[in-house]
Amino acid sequence: MSLVDSMSMAKPNLESREKILSKLRGRDPVNCFQCMKCTSGCTALKLLELKPHEIEKLVNLGLVDELASSDIIWTCVTCLKCVQRCPQKASPYHVIMALRNLAVEREAKVPEAYMKAVSQILETGLAEAYQKITTRKMETCDRESLKLPKISGPKEGFQAAFLKALEERQA
Amino acid sequence: MTRIGVYVCHCGLNIAGVVDVEKVAKYAEGLPDVALAKHYTYMCSDSGQRLIQDDIEAHKLDRIVIATCSPRMHEETFRKAVAEAGLNPYLVEVVNLREQVSWPHSHEPEKATEKAKALVRMGVARVKLLEPLEKQKVSVEKGVLVVGGGIAGIQASLDLANAGFKVHLVEKSPSIGGRMAQLDKTFPTLDCSACILTPKMVDVAKNPNITLLTNSEVASVKGFVGNYEVSILRKPRYVDEGKCVGCELCTQVCPVKVPDKFNEKLSQSRAISIHSSHAVPKIATINPDYCLRLKVKKGKKDVCGKCLETCEAKAIDFEQQPENIQLKVGAIVLAVGSDVFDATKMPEFGYGRFPNVVSNIKFERISDASGPTGGKILSPKTGKLPKSIVFVQCVGSRDKRFHEYCCRVGCMVSLKQAILAREKLGGDVSIYVCFNDLRSFGKGYEEFYRRARDIDINFVAGIPSDIRMASDGSLYFDVFERGTNKLLEMHADLVVLANGLVPSDDIKRINELFHASRSADGFLLEAHPKLRPLECSTAGIFLAGACQGPKDIPDTVAQASGAAAKVMDLLSSGEIEIEPLKAVVDEDLCSGCRVCELLCPFLAIDMKKEGTVGREKLRAEVIEAMCQGCGLCSAACPTGAIQIQQYGSRQVLAQVDAALAEAQAKGGS
């Protein structure tokens, strides 16, 4: 592709583009005609400035390197509105997920919260840790004080199986 | 001794850019019985055809193989050329090197050349076994059936009637006029739709050559080009067409309210009603699904009957029965039109849930002087004048979830409606159009777009993701605008969705009745998109208007006149030639099993009883004029008794042998 981003002097990375496209069977960003419906309805736009249509276009043009190392791809809150409403079935959500995978592969900096979530799952087997809650009457309660049964840790071999599953998804 | 001439066409670079045509020609020269092989840039050109004609004379050729584009394209051209040189036109074999070789194999030229060689080898093997055939002539009926009374059907009928043909115009609703009758004004000239359509509707009713059959549907179609037998079902109106004068007294006394379809259900009509204010014919019709007497107590005379009492012309007739009308026609014009996309399928826009979200066809009724608001643009929820209007483009079209095609009218319809709104509501109202790409491609359309910008209609490059309703019924939504890279929050009292055109509900029935194929988009398929755009692939059936694909009025009228001209071309001489490639039955082999009769989609097989009494035997006979040479019977016949001329086992197996010859020579099995 014979174009250069004059702002950053970035050149298209066709190899990475191909890699992303190959993971999106039937949901090609190449079909995107920039109607902006995804961005019009994007949950992460107003606070986090995620513009899915921009991501679609940049991937299309092969300008993926900057994207893969940017923070913006981690702002998607996976509400899937864009998947539902895209008239071209180009699905920005799936493109963003492919970009996140690419970022991890390149060992780019992944936001702490995501790493925390992964180690949380590895340790406890839960996506969300159970926590103490303060009520309106300023009482602190946890599972024990509410006499809820204890939650046991993950079964043996869970960590290995979880990591293996992650790897398989990568491939 | 057969002497075959082989001609390889370059088709410019279409074929020669991939296939090594010289090699193919050289290869063909070495095939048995080939007297000469040549290659040339354009075989279909005048000089290309002359090349064949000269060779036929100079080299005493008696069979011709032309390796070129699809036979659907130019087989007829080459047959004619060969016939001019004195050879029977059916001794030509066309080998397809373009659609079947160079185009699909453009990335592998060597393999493509090998495939081209193999196809030429098969063609040469086949051409030896072809037999000379003669075209047959059959006489034709001069009547024409036009199905659908919209602007397409009206235009085609008038053109044909004026040329002296008898036309039967069938319309399923009680009045002709179709979709165009519902429109307020038309782009890009802003003519009033009724003013240009109504005179044509009246012309149809007055023309002595046109029989108008409203409230009627085609029930069955038999026969073949030039000789179709059509049966029409005339549904009862329960009103005597000869007596009703269209005074509308009955519609004032009828107590049953019915959603008015013509007004897109924005208002109500009665169980007895006249289709619209400028209906042709202007005759009342009773809707049997709603009429108290017809529905609630069938036949009991004491129910309601208010119309019966009021009608001074004594036109009401509850005893009317459906009627079957048999017609003989030579050709059929299909002009069944299209429907408007149902936007309730797209929940994000709230159509159907939010009263102030309307479709573009509803807006036409709101804006039309004969519509429910008398031409005042009012918000359906509050009945007040809207302060801001937003048009949303590409609803249901250019959308893989619904219809992939561009509806071809949505942009222009919204421009027109925006201009009408500006004219009617004045400069204080804000008008926006949210668009993808604004397509103003026709003659005078781009100027129309400029006219809209001139009068301060704002264009927002972006489509909302969803539309929400505030408690007062007004609407608000976010749009990301690609020109400014800003998220805009828009508020509107009225949102008009640019719903696209979709194949009509009846299209499946039409497809079955007339053997009219459909394309992937669901519309009726033309025989060739460029060379035969007005015809169906079934001979004698023509297409006009939006049933063939979404169209605006100028294109529809042009296509309708074109289809009418094609009908005149077909029928004017009184007889037509039909292809001799038909099924033939070997009587000795036919066992009378009737498989062919059951399978034939054209009802071209007749089972005849033969033999002496007590030892009777059934035999299949082909009605030649009806057979289309499709070959279903031949493939299914258990004894091989029925064969298609030029495509019998002899010719096909020779081709198969030739296809395998090389493989065997190489030691394959």
Residue B481 near chain A (CB below 8 Å): yes
How far apart CA B82 and CA B79 sit, in angstroms, is 5
pLDDT of B667 > 60? The answer is no
Give the chain B residue whose CA is nearest to the CA of A27. Answer: B400
- Note whether residue B232 is domain-resident: no
In a shared domain, residues B375 and B482: yes
Which of B348, B480, B490 is most worth mutating to test chain A (most A CB atoms within 10 A of its CB)?
B480
Compute the nearest-CA separation of B358 from chain A (Å).
20
In a shared domain, residues B457 and B437: yes
pLDDT of B669 > 50? The answer is no
Question: Tens digit of pLDDT for each residue in A48-78?
Answer: 899 999 999 999 999 999 999 999 999 999 9
Is there a contact between B401 and A89 if contact means CB atoms under 8 Å apart? yes
How far apart CA B426 and CA A81 sit, in angstroms, is 38
State the pLDDT at residue A131: 83
Residue ending a domain, among B517, B540, B571, is: B571
How far apart CA B150 and CA B556 sit, in angstroms, is 10
Residue A59 near chain B (CB below 8 Å): no
Return the structure tokens found at B221. Answer: 């179609």
Residue B399 near chain A (CB below 8 Å): yes
- Note whether residue B663 is domain-resident: no
How far apart CA B666 and CA B669 sit, in angstroms, is 9
- Note whether residue B653 is domain-resident: no
Burial A9-32, CB ≥16 within 10 A → b, else e: ebebbeebbeebbeebeebbbebb
Q: How far is CA B54 from CA A170, B58, B187, in A?
A: 68, 6, 55
| Domains located in chain A, CATH noted | 14-105 (1.10.1060.10), 112-170 (no CATH)
In a shared domain, residues B553 and B593: no
* B77 contacts: CB under 8 Å, gap ≥ 6: B44, B49
State the pLDDT at residue B298: 58
Section B218-226 average pLDDT: 90
In a shared domain, residues B52 and B109: yes
Q: Measuring CA to CA, which residue among B252, B161, B143 is closest to residue B205?
A: B161
In a shared domain, residues B350 and B378: yes
CATH of the domain at B118: 3.40.50
Identify the weakest region by mean pLDDT among A70-84, A156-170, B16-30, B68-82.
A156-170
Return the structure tokens found at B178. Answer: 């179709």
In a shared domain, residues B399 and B515: no
In a shared domain, residues B345 and B472: yes
Question: Tens digit of pLDDT for each residue in B403-417?
Answer: 999 999 999 999 999
Do residues B84 and B54 lie in contact, with contact meaning Cβ atoms separated by under 8 Å? no
Q: Measuring CA to CA, which residue among B419, B404, B552, B399 is closest to residue B496?
A: B419
Q: Measuring CA to CA, which residue among B113, B19, B51 is closest to residue B11?
A: B19
Return the structure tokens found at B582. Answer: 């038909």
- Note whether residue B578 is domain-resident: no
CATH of the domain at B610: 3.30.70.3270
Do residues B76 and B135 lie in contact, with contact meaning Cβ atoms separated by under 8 Å? no
Residue ending a domain, among B571, B595, B618, is: B571
CATH of the domain at B444: 3.50.50.60
How far apart CA A80 and CA A126 sit, in angstroms, is 23
In a shared domain, residues B471 and B442: yes
State the pLDDT at residue A27: 75
Helices (H), B391-534: 410-425, 445-454, 507-514
Q: What residues of A are in contact with residue B477 (Cβ under 8 Å)?
A: 40
Section B111-135 average pLDDT: 94
In a shared domain, residues B373 and B445: yes
Is there a contact between B465 and A35 if contact means CB atoms under 8 Å apart? no
Question: Tens digit of pLDDT for each residue in A86-143?
Answer: 999 998 999 999 999 999 889 888 899 888 888 888 888 888 878 888 989 998 998 8
State the pLDDT at residue B102: 95
In a shared domain, residues B351 and B494: yes
- Note whether residue B649 is domain-resident: no
Please tell me whether residue B34 adopts helix, strand or coil conformation: strand
Percent of chain B with pLDDT over 70: 98
How far apart CA B244 and CA B177 sit, in angstroms, is 20
Return the structure tokens found at B545. Answer: 């208007």
- Note whether residue B82 is domain-resident: yes
Q: What residues of A are in contact with residue B478 (Cβ under 8 Å)?
A: 40-41
* B573 contacts: CB under 8 Å, gap ≥ 6: none
Burial B27-61, CB ≥16 within 10 A → b, else e: bbeebeebbbbbbbeebbeeebbebbbebbeeeeb
Residue ending a domain, among B514, B547, B571, is: B571
- Note whether residue B141 is domain-resident: no
Q: How far apart are the first and last CA of chain B?
A: 31
In a shared domain, residues B28 and B121: yes
pLDDT of B283 > 90? The answer is yes
> Predicted ipTM?
0.79
State the pLDDT at residue B94: 96
In a shared domain, residues B51 and B112: yes
Domain hosting B297: range is 249-310
How many domains in chain B?
A: 5
Task: Label residue B505 left, alpha or beta by phi (over 0 means left) and psi (-120 to 50 means alpha).
Answer: alpha
Nearest CB to B487; choose among A38, A46, A87 = A46
